[in-house]
């Protein structure tokens, strides 16, 4: 029985603890009439797939980045609305064009932030 087979069959992470579980089960496998499938079933119950402190810290960091992107996008959207309102009220065509252009730029920045938040979320969920 190979460790890579054990990892694949049990779905466990490759950690020192899980490797030790594998070694213990391998001894049982070699010295008894157990099948690999039985070893894998025991292994599924004994392995530890809990998140490491590093994984938890990374997860929290990514979630914070996603929240920050969403908050920034919301702020940009609010600014765009404000400039759109100013453009509606402005009588001077020069200022009206400036306000419209500024609103357009804020909308674009909001769109980019929302896209970045989606990308981070997709990357996070994929990992």
pLDDT tens digit sequence for 16-63: 999 999 999 999 999 999 999 999 999 999 999 998 888 899 999 999
pLDDT for res 22 = 96
**Mean pLDDT, the chain, integer:** 94
Do 42 and 57 share a structural domain? no
- State mean pLDDT over 90-98: 86
Do 113 and 58 share a structural domain? yes
Separation CA 107–CA 120 (nearest Å) = 20
Do 108 and 64 share a structural domain? yes
Q: Give Cβ neighbours of residue 51 (< 8 Å, ≥ 6 apart).
A: 59
Cα three-residue angle 61-14-11, rounded to 5 degrees: 95
Name the domain count of the chain: 2
Do 75 and 108 share a structural domain? yes
* Structure-token pair, residue 53: 């402190």
Do 93 and 35 share a structural domain? no
Domain that holds residue 11: 3-46
Q: How confident is the model at residue 127 (pLDDT cuts 50, 70, 90)?
A: low
pLDDT for res 90 = 79
């Amino acid at each position: 029985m190979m460790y890579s087979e054990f990892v694949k069959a049990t779905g466990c992470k490759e950690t020192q603890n899980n490797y030790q579980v594998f070694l213990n089960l391998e001894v049982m496998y070699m010295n008894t009439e157990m099948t690999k499938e039985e070893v894998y079933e025991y292994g599924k119950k004994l392995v530890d797939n809990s998140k490491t402190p590093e994984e938890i810290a990374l997860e929290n960091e990514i979630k914070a980045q996603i929240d920050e992107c969403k908050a920034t996008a919301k702020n940009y959207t609010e600014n765009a609305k404000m400039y759109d309102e100013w453009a509606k009220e402005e009588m001077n065509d020069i200022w009206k064009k400036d306000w419209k252009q500024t609103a357009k730029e804020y909308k674009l920045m909001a769109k980019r932030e929302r896209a970045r938040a989606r990308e981070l979320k997709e990357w996070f969920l994929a990992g």
